[in-house]
Homo-oligomer: A and B are copies of this chain.
Amino acid sequence: MCEANAYVAVNGSEDLVMESLDRVEPQPDGAFLLVDIFGKQREITGAIQEIDLLNKRIVVVRSEA
């Protein structure tokens, strides 16, 4: 399995917001919908900072806390 972890970076520190990430879907309002392999969903606001597939990291810089 090749799922990754999603992190949100706020003020330079990263928080793990979702493990076993299946996919990331940009939303019309600029947010990102995260969906894990179990179907759990979480929407986060921000901009993609990094997609690192080998290290299984997707980092979103949050624009609002």
A positions within 8 Å CB-CB of B: 1-4, 21-26, 37, 47-54, 56, 58
Of chain B, the residue at the smallest CB distance from A23 is: B52
Smallest distance from the beta carbon of A46 to chain B beta carbons, Å?
12
Query: Do A56 and B26 have beta carbons less than 8 Å apart?
Result: no
29 contacts between A and B (CB under 8 A): A1-B54, A2-B2, A2-B4, A2-B53, A2-B54, A2-B56, A3-B53, A3-B54, A4-B53, A21-B53, A22-B52, A22-B53, A22-B54, A23-B50, A23-B51, A23-B52, A23-B53, A23-B54, A24-B48, A24-B50, A24-B51, A25-B51, A26-B47, A26-B48, A26-B50, A48-B48, A51-B51, A51-B58, A53-B53
